[in-house]
A and B are shown apart, each in its own frame.
Chain A
Amino acid sequence: MVGPLLTTKLHAPRRRRGLVARARLLEQLSRGDEAVLTLVSAPAGFGKTTLLTEWLAAAGRPSTAWLALDQRDDDPVLFLTYLLSALQRAAQEVGGKALTRLQEPHASIDEVLAILVNELDALEDDIVLVLDDYHVVSARDVHEAMTFLLEHSPSRMHLVIATRADPALPLSRLRARGELVEVRADDLRFTADEAAAYLNEAMGLALTAEQVVALEARTEGWIAALQLAALSLKGRDDVAGFIAGFAGDDRYIVDYLIQEVLQRQPEHVRRFLLQTSVLERLSGSLCDAVTGGDGGKATLQALDGENLFLVRLDDRRHWYRYHHLFADVLQAHLRDEWPDQIADLHRRASAWFERNGERSEAIRHALAAADHARAADLVELAIPELGQGRQEATLRRWMEALPEELFEARPVLSAGYVGALMSTGDVEGVEARLRDAERWLDRTAPSADMIVADDEAWGRLPAQIAMYRAGHALVHGDVAGSMGHARRALELAGPDDHLGRGGPAAILGLAYWTTGDLDAAHRWYAEGMASLDEGGYRSDVIGGAITLADIRIAQGRLREAMRTYQQGLQRAQQCDPPLRGAADMHVGMSQLLLERNDLEAARHHLRRSQELGDHGGLPKNPYRRRLAMARLHQLDGDIEGALELLDEAERWYNSDFSPDVQPIPAVRARMWIAHGRLESALHWAREHGLSADDDLDYVGEYEHITLARALLAQHAASRDLDPVDQATGLLERLLHAAQDGGRTGSVLEILVLQALACQALADVPAAEAALRRALTLAEPEGYVRIFVDEGLPMASLLRAAATREIASGYVRRLLAAIDATQHDGPIHQDALVEPLSKRELDVLRLLGTELDGPEIARELFVSLNTVRTHTRNIYAKLGVNNRRAAVRRAADLNLLSPAPQR
């Protein structure tokens, strides 16, 4: 965070004396204790905040977390930091773990939210979370985070939102479920009785009934207006005349009344009010800095005493703010009367905040002063901190507020912009900013035209830019260029610059992977991860295990791949809850276990991954998990389900900088081939312009092996010799390429296919020779499915090998496995990784009704906790995270149709 956490934002404002009792509204609010969300939605000045503070001050209320939002919180990381801090103040046991995770470099928002939901779930007592001024939030990320919280809302948490505009949350859904309590403008308006109570009792004005009615009618019960009217009336002799004049006027009420109030202030107070209206928070010292006076503190206390415009932000009467409505009106007066002063006022505020260590406020005021040079300096100095805290949204907003031409002379700022763009996955604009920065690097002598605020960052700039260049080139498919830049970045980075060394080394590893040089790829990538590990980037290191294991698998080193996943899992589990990436490790282990034909264990790991959810996974996990599930479905005989999962996997595909060495369309083509849909597979090959004469490269290897499979299948179907000839030639070339690259995993598969091709051509010795080589490579690593998946043709080859006593124990195991596949029918509820128990099906059926949790428990004669456990299991098995999705998925899978009589 740039600047300290403002604890004033976490204080519910002090309750004012002399309020009107609003029993009807308090009763309405108390219904919120049963609802998920209470929405207090009305324009400014309708007493939303006051009502809430009064409600919360009542005795016996559950503990409350209060968060007053402002424009800066339109950044998901900042928003969550405040939200979690607010919760933690209210209940010590909540928010701590989530906050720790949020501070972990490169942790994800989803993950933090999931941890928060768990923490809330464990709460013993109710907690109320109030978000005041929610209308300032426009970032979709923030709305999505809140929607997630609402949809997973544990019963202990009640959310209260006060806002001037209805928020972008699923309100109609909540309303339909009766989970929304609303208090709107018409509820909040003062009734005639309340107006009378306020004016006469609270403000002590002694007005007649007619006068009260006149004021109530003119203001339409708008509380801010009545309040101003009361202030104007205080100490006035001609009350009747004022009310008549006000009631007969159709000017904007606040204009009229503030004019009245301002006119009655001494000139120095009037000046103070207008000048300090540019501030979002007021303290004596800040006001003095902005006005150039010295009585700030006394003036604030006097205004507070007169109940004039101010809201107290803390108990010590140190920080205040103006009521928003009045601040706007005061600013309008300021712009009208002293337009030339405004920039200076902001500039002085910026300087005060900089001196007091609040850089982000200093930047805001510098931008408001249009002092772009000052803002640019401050932003540049804030870059390292914002980058580490992943506040790219804030950084980008500031960068975008600065004029384009300002970047030309500021290389460090330009490079910071590149970093913000690339980490948000935005490559547009990167090239221009890189060029801006690079122009200055080429100079031999320092130039007077160049502007650098952060000298330390200037020293790191050449290495940093080379790293960005390397990443940028890799994304654009320029592998050689990427390698060159990455090497240069490594040369330039200091020995202790962990990110500066780890980043380019990892990029170099990925570039080598793309070329198919797997030894170099593994070496560089592992070195990169070691540097990142030293720098404390744990999440990135765990994610790196996926790449390292992928490379090992391509090398045919399944045991090492397994060890890599196990270590990754261990690392992830050293934290509680496990770090993001644990889910990915389970998926990887599941795939390896599946190859070993240990389907039970494979299912188990996939289930663990599913339980951790996609939010417990890295960017690749959603697609990798679906890919792994598709394989299991295929083995269970559910081809349609498997193909659907592949479609889903394709939608979730995320390369995350890795080469796409196993494209999903090719995986689908293999599935088609294995299940007799040869035409579709051949169509895929034509569409991708694949032919047996293509030049070969590693990135296309999987597709070319798939083509060879299609050709062999074509021969099997037609007995035509041409396809098998083509396949033989292609396989021979693929074999050489794979051998040269040390890709034993590919070699193995190619040998299996060669054996089958020779068998089809009745060349028994050649078939046997290929098979023998494959068996020798496969046995030590425990491969099974690579043979078993070929079914009966492979069985006859293996039987022949067995008679010649080649690797006989291993061959017998493979034959037994093939035998077993021939008798297995599809399992029940075959679309599920793990079938639902009978009890779970009962609960699922009731989830599809209107019954709530306690009612379901009564219906089934079990405790609510038991229902919760069943529900959790059902969600995990169905791969969903809420009731609606569970019912929908159940309907899709036809799980709720009447059970067959047995």
Chain B
Amino acid sequence: MSASPVGRPDGSPWYEIRLKGRLDPRWAAWFDGLSVTTTVDGTTALRGPVTDQAALHGLLQKVRDLGVPLLSVTPLDPEQPRPPTA
């Protein structure tokens, strides 16, 4: 799993899950405390530490169950929690 992001020694790896549509900030609690940020392009980013792959799949399942279109899943550098500009 060399592609998986390396977290800080004291924490879990960070991820950004990007969704189509603007999600109300109240969903933060539903998504285990990830930050919910909406952007002007009409998408939403869920960001934060995700314990492991199983937890990540759990989050994706929640996304699936809401019927929200999933746009991307990106590992983040926890020091600079912004996705690398491609």
Instruction: For B30, list chain A residues within 8 Å (CB).
Output: 328, 331-332, 335
CB of A371 to closest CB in B, whole Å? 20
- Are B65 and A252 touching (Cβ within 8 A)? no
CB of B45 to closest CB in A, whole Å? 13
- Are B22 and A252 touching (Cβ within 8 A)? yes
Question: B68 an interface residue at 8 Å Cβ cutoff?
Answer: yes
- Are B29 and A252 touching (Cβ within 8 A)? no
Q: Mark B37-69, 1 if CB is under 8 A from A, else 0.
A: 000001010000000000000000010111110
Question: A872 an interface residue at 8 Å Cβ cutoff?
Answer: no
User: Among residues 318 to 340 in chain A, which have CB atoms less than 8 Å away from a CB atom of chain B?
Assistant: 324-325, 328-329, 331-333, 335-336, 339
Q: Mark B64-86, 1 if CB is under 8 A from A, else 0.
A: 11111000000000000000000
Instruction: For A43, list chain B residues within 8 Å (CB).
Output: 64, 67
Question: B7 an interface residue at 8 Å Cβ cutoff?
Answer: no
Q: Mark A745-785, 1 if CB is under 8 A from B, else 0.
A: 00000000000000000000000000000000000000000
CB of A270 to closest CB in B, whole Å? 15
> Is chain A's interface secondary structure helix, strand, loop, or mixed overall?
helix
Q: Mark A205-228, 1 if CB is under 8 A from B, else 0.
A: 000000000000000001010000
| Measured CA separation A43–B63 after assembly (Å) | 10
- Are B29 and A328 touching (Cβ within 8 A)? no
> Is chain B's interface secondary structure helix, strand, loop, or mixed overall?
mixed
> Which of B42, B65, B66 has a CB less than 8 Å from the CB of A250?
B42
Q: Mark A233-255, 1 if CB is under 8 A from B, else 0.
A: 00000000000000000111111
Instruction: For B29, list chain A residues within 8 Å (CB).
Output: 332, 335-336, 339
- Are B65 and A251 touching (Cβ within 8 A)? no
- Of A252, A253, A324, the most chain B CB neighbours within 10 A belong to A252
- Are A333 and B67 touching (Cβ within 8 A)? no
| Measured CA separation A325–B66 after assembly (Å) | 6
Question: A165 an interface residue at 8 Å Cβ cutoff?
Answer: yes
B27 to A, closest residue via Cβ: A332
- Are B64 and A252 touching (Cβ within 8 A)? no
CB contact under 8 A between A336 and B21, given known A222-B67, A325-B67: no
Question: A164 an interface residue at 8 Å Cβ cutoff?
Answer: yes
B22 to A, closest residue via Cβ: A251
| Measured CA separation A222–B22 after assembly (Å) | 17
Question: B24 an interface residue at 8 Å Cβ cutoff?
Answer: yes
CB contact under 8 A between A253 and B64, given known A332-B27, A332-B30, A336-B26: no
- Are A254 and B22 touching (Cβ within 8 A)? no
| Measured CA separation A251–B29 after assembly (Å) | 18
> Which of B24, B65, B68 has a CB less than 8 Å from the CB of A164?
B65
CB contact under 8 A between A252 and B44, given known A324-B65, A325-B65: yes
- Are B26 and A253 touching (Cβ within 8 A)? no
Instruction: For B68, list chain A residues within 8 Å (CB).
Output: 252
Instruction: For A164, list chain B residues within 8 Å (CB).
Output: 64-65
- Are A250 and B26 touching (Cβ within 8 A)? no
A336 to B, closest residue via Cβ: B26
Instruction: For A250, list chain B residues within 8 Å (CB).
Output: 21-22, 42
| Measured CA separation A254–B64 after assembly (Å) | 13
| Measured CA separation A460–B19 after assembly (Å) | 55
CB of B3 to closest CB in A, whole Å? 23
Instruction: For B62, list chain A residues within 8 Å (CB).
Output: 328
User: Among residues 21 to 67 in chain A, which have CB atoms less than 8 Å away from a CB atom of chain B?
Assistant: 43-46
| Measured CA separation A251–B22 after assembly (Å) | 4
- Are A252 and B26 touching (Cβ within 8 A)? no
- Are A224 and B24 touching (Cβ within 8 A)? no
| Measured CA separation A331–B29 after assembly (Å) | 10
CB of B64 to closest CB in A, whole Å? 6
- Of B21, B42, B66, B67, the most chain A CB neighbours within 10 A belong to B67
- Are A251 and B24 touching (Cβ within 8 A)? yes
- Are A44 and B23 touching (Cβ within 8 A)? no
| Measured CA separation A661–B65 after assembly (Å) | 54
- Are A165 and B23 touching (Cβ within 8 A)? no
Instruction: For B66, list chain A residues within 8 Å (CB).
Output: 44, 252, 254, 325, 328-329
| Measured CA separation A325–B42 after assembly (Å) | 21
- Are A252 and B24 touching (Cβ within 8 A)? yes
CB of A273 to closest CB in B, whole Å? 15
Q: Mark A325-358, 1 if CB is under 8 A from B, else 0.
A: 1001101110110010000000000000000000
Instruction: For A44, list chain B residues within 8 Å (CB).
Output: 64-67
| Measured CA separation A45–B66 after assembly (Å) | 9
Instruction: For A339, list chain B residues within 8 Å (CB).
Output: 29
CB of B67 to closest CB in A, whole Å? 4
- Are A252 and B23 touching (Cβ within 8 A)? yes
- Are A332 and B26 touching (Cβ within 8 A)? yes
- Are B26 and A251 touching (Cβ within 8 A)? no
- Are A45 and B42 touching (Cβ within 8 A)? no
- Are A224 and B67 touching (Cβ within 8 A)? yes
B41 to A, closest residue via Cβ: A250
Instruction: For B24, list chain A residues within 8 Å (CB).
Output: 251-252, 255
- Are B67 and A254 touching (Cβ within 8 A)? yes
Instruction: For A332, list chain B residues within 8 Å (CB).
Output: 26-27, 29-30
Instruction: For A252, list chain B residues within 8 Å (CB).
Output: 19, 21-24, 44, 66, 68
- Are B27 and A253 touching (Cβ within 8 A)? no
- Of A45, A328, A332, A336, the most chain B CB neighbours within 10 A belong to A332
User: Among residues 167 to 189 in chain A, which have CB atoms less than 8 Å away from a CB atom of chain B?
Assistant: none
Instruction: For B42, list chain A residues within 8 Å (CB).
Output: 250
Instruction: For B21, list chain A residues within 8 Å (CB).
Output: 250-253
CB of A326 to closest CB in B, whole Å? 11
B68 to A, closest residue via Cβ: A252
Q: Mark A253-296, 1 if CB is under 8 A from B, else 0.
A: 11100000000000000000000000000000000000000000
| Measured CA separation A324–B67 after assembly (Å) | 11
Instruction: For B44, list chain A residues within 8 Å (CB).
Output: 252
User: Among residues 1 to 37 in chain B, which have CB atoms less than 8 Å away from a CB atom of chain A?
Assistant: 19, 21-24, 26-27, 29-30
- Of B19, B24, B27, B29, the most chain A CB neighbours within 10 A belong to B24
CB of A770 to closest CB in B, whole Å? 64
B25 to A, closest residue via Cβ: A336
> Which of A255, A328, A333 has a CB less than 8 Å from the CB of B65?
A328
- Of A43, A224, A253, the most chain B CB neighbours within 10 A belong to A43
| Measured CA separation A164–B68 after assembly (Å) | 12
Instruction: For B19, list chain A residues within 8 Å (CB).
Output: 252
Instruction: For A255, list chain B residues within 8 Å (CB).
Output: 23-24
| Measured CA separation A253–B26 after assembly (Å) | 15
CB of B73 to closest CB in A, whole Å? 15
Instruction: For B64, list chain A residues within 8 Å (CB).
Output: 43-44, 135, 164-165
Instruction: For A331, list chain B residues within 8 Å (CB).
Output: 30
User: Among residues 144 to 201 in chain A, which have CB atoms less than 8 Å away from a CB atom of chain B?
Assistant: 164-165
CB of A337 to closest CB in B, whole Å? 8
| Measured CA separation A164–B60 after assembly (Å) | 12
B44 to A, closest residue via Cβ: A252
Instruction: For A333, list chain B residues within 8 Å (CB).
Output: 26
| Measured CA separation A339–B44 after assembly (Å) | 23
CB of B27 to closest CB in A, whole Å? 5
| Measured CA separation A430–B41 after assembly (Å) | 54
B26 to A, closest residue via Cβ: A336
| Measured CA separation A329–B30 after assembly (Å) | 9
A44 to B, closest residue via Cβ: B67
A42 to B, closest residue via Cβ: B67
CB of B22 to closest CB in A, whole Å? 5
22 pairs, A vs B, C-beta closer than 8 Å: A44-B65, A44-B66, A46-B67, A164-B64, A165-B64, A250-B22, A251-B21, A252-B22, A252-B68, A255-B24, A324-B65, A325-B65, A325-B66, A328-B30, A328-B62, A331-B30, A332-B26, A332-B29, A335-B26, A335-B29, A336-B29, A339-B29
Q: 16 new A-B pairs (CB below 8 Å) besides A252-B22, A252-B23, A252-B66?
A: A165-B64, A250-B22, A250-B42, A251-B22, A251-B24, A252-B19, A254-B67, A255-B23, A325-B67, A328-B30, A328-B62, A332-B26, A332-B27, A332-B29, A333-B26, A335-B29
Q: Which 3 A-B pairs have the closest CB atoms?
A: A336-B26, A250-B42, A335-B29
Chain A residues with a Cβ under 8 A of chain B: 43-46, 135, 164-165, 222, 224, 250-255, 324-325, 328-329, 331-333, 335-336, 339
